[in-house]
Amino acid sequence: MDALEAMTAPAPRVLSIDIFRGLTMLVMIFVNDLAGVQGLPWWTYHMPQGVNGMTYVDVVFPAFLFIVGMTIPLSVERRLQQDGSQWKLWRHILLRFAGLAILGIFIANTSKVDPRLSGVNVEAWSLVGFVGALLLWNVYAEPSGTRTILFKCAGFVMLFAMLSIFRRAATGGQTVWLDFSYWEILGLIAKAYLAVCILYVPLRRWRWAPLVLLTLLCALNVASRMGLAPILRQLPFWVWPFGRGDLASITLAGIVASQIFLTGSFAKTVRQQAVWAAGYAAVLVIAGWLFVGLGVAKNAGTPSWCLWSSAISVLLFLGLYWGVDVKGRSAWARFARPAGANTLLTYLLPDIFYAAFGLSYAPAWLGSGLPGAARSLGFTAVMLGVAALLTRWRVRLQL
């Protein structure tokens, strides 16, 4: 099992989850590269800051959070069945959170390295750090072998060294260290993962706990949006890991979906699962309409954006589950399965490519319009192909 798969590994393996994750990864690579292409319709980009609305691009990140939630119940139960130790379960959760947070902060700072202050150029700093991450978190054939230990130690030293020498110039001109204000997507997933585990794990035996917790997080998001809990905005993550409830609510929405489709908490037959899923999505859509007056915006994490993104993920997974797990039609998605099963590696590949070749890797005439869109599509195909090849060569990342 790997890391970005929600940063929680399902057991037994559910093929529709792998495909859902792989397709989400595919779209994320595509839209991230497409962001540098000009002259395309408005719906091919994120909705601009301060503008109400959603495009399909604004639903990609929530889909990852949703998958995180779907895999948490299965991962937790698997680990407890294997060992039964609450201490080891929480050690695993905290180590996974820490790994994702470190990677997120590293990626977020790759564009802020000051070569003069750090003593190394941006490309070298980024590549050494990425290679260190690959060596440190790769899954080796002999987990306790001497070569494995040496590789992991070398990876730790390389990543730690790059983080240690990092320096940048602050606005006032003074030399400062890493910027922790934004943890990048991996760090945001890490925050949501830890927050939801804190809520879900102690209450997991109560069937209705996820629904109640989801309602409370949505209420927190509404209250935060209305300015009713200003003190929560000032508390550091270590004191209040739930933020304003937005990202955690999407993750918890995935846990509820897992109860419908995978754990048998609410539905035993495929027909019951479909009815529950459709009703669940309808409730999320209606709730989103109730709070549309608070805005619809990804960057602001508004309640409507969270609820509608969750509803879309429910319906998308319902379709995949029906076609893949119930009808057994999965051959069409073979191209996406390596990205779904080795997601963290696939996620890092574009950043490694950009570090090596720069964001402007293509000629100028491929930077706008349909040629630019074709470039991004080709780039996505190459990244998926490289991920499939590396997976076949047993290069897999796991936090």
Each residue of 302-342: pLDDT tens digit? Answer: 999 999 999 999 999 999 999 999 999 999 999 999 899 99
The end-to-end CA distance of the chain, in Å, is 9
pLDDT tens, position by position, 215-270: 999 999 999 999 987 888 788 999 999 999 999 999 999 999 999 999 888 988 99
- For residues 55-75, give the mean pLDDT: 96
Q: What is the pLDDT of residue 85?
A: 86
Beta pairing partners, 397? 138
More confident position, 114 or 50: 114
List for the chain the helix, strand, coil content (%; round to 5): 70, 0, 30
Q: Give the residue-averaged pLDDT of 3-22.
A: 66
Section 380-398 average pLDDT: 95
Label residue 285 by pLDDT band (50, 70, 90): very high
Residue 125 lies in a domain: no
Query: How confident is the model at residue 252, as a pLDDT?
Result: 98
Exposure of 206 by Cβ count < 10 A (0-12 exposed, 13-18 middle, 19+ buried)? exposed
Helix/strand/coil (H/E/C) assignment for every residue in 41-76 = CHHHCCCCCCCCCCCHHHHHHHHHHHHHHHHHHHHH
What number is the average pLDDT over the span 11-40? 90
> What type of residue is 224?
S
Which pLDDT belongs to residue 29? 97
**Rounded Cα gap, residues 286 and 282, in angstroms:** 6
Structure-block tokens of residue 245:
């409830």
Mean residue pLDDT of the chain comes to 93
pLDDT at 262: 92
Q: Is the pLDDT of residue 194 over 50?
A: yes
Based on the structure, what is the number of domains in the chain? Answer: 1
Compute the distance between CA of residue 65 and CA of residue 35 in angstroms, rounded to an integer: 21
Q: Is the pLDDT of residue 5 over 70?
A: no
263 lies in a domain?
yes
From the CA atom positions of the chain, what is the Rg in Å?
Answer: 21
Q: Which residue has the tokens 């909705």?
A: 47
- Per-residue confidence (pLDDT) for residue 13, from 0 to 100: 64
Q: Is the dihedral of CA 89, 345, 243, 238 positive or negative?
A: positive
Quote the domain boundaries for residue 297.
Answer: 15-82+208-392
- 179 within a domain of the structure (yes/no): no
Query: What is the Cα–Cα distance from 309 to 124, expressed in whole angstroms?
Result: 38
- Is residue 156 situated within a structural domain? no
Query: In the predicted model, what is the mean pLDDT of residues 206-222?
Result: 97
- Residue 197: pLDDT over 90: yes
pLDDT for residue 10:
38
% the chain with pLDDT above 90: 86
Looking at residue 6, its pLDDT comes to 44
In a domain, 3, yes or no: no
Rounded CA separation 49/179 (Å): 22
Contact 2, 344 (CB under 8 A): yes
Residue 170 belongs to some domain of the structure: no
Mean predicted confidence (pLDDT) in 382-399: 94
The pTM (predicted TM-score) of the whole model is: 0.94
What is the model's pLDDT at position 195? 98
132 has which bridge partners? none
108: in domain: no
- Percent of the chain residues topping a pLDDT of 70: 97
Please give the pLDDT value at position 360.
Answer: 84
229 lies in some domain: yes
Name which of 50-64, 108-122, 351-365, 366-380 the model is least confident about.
Answer: 351-365
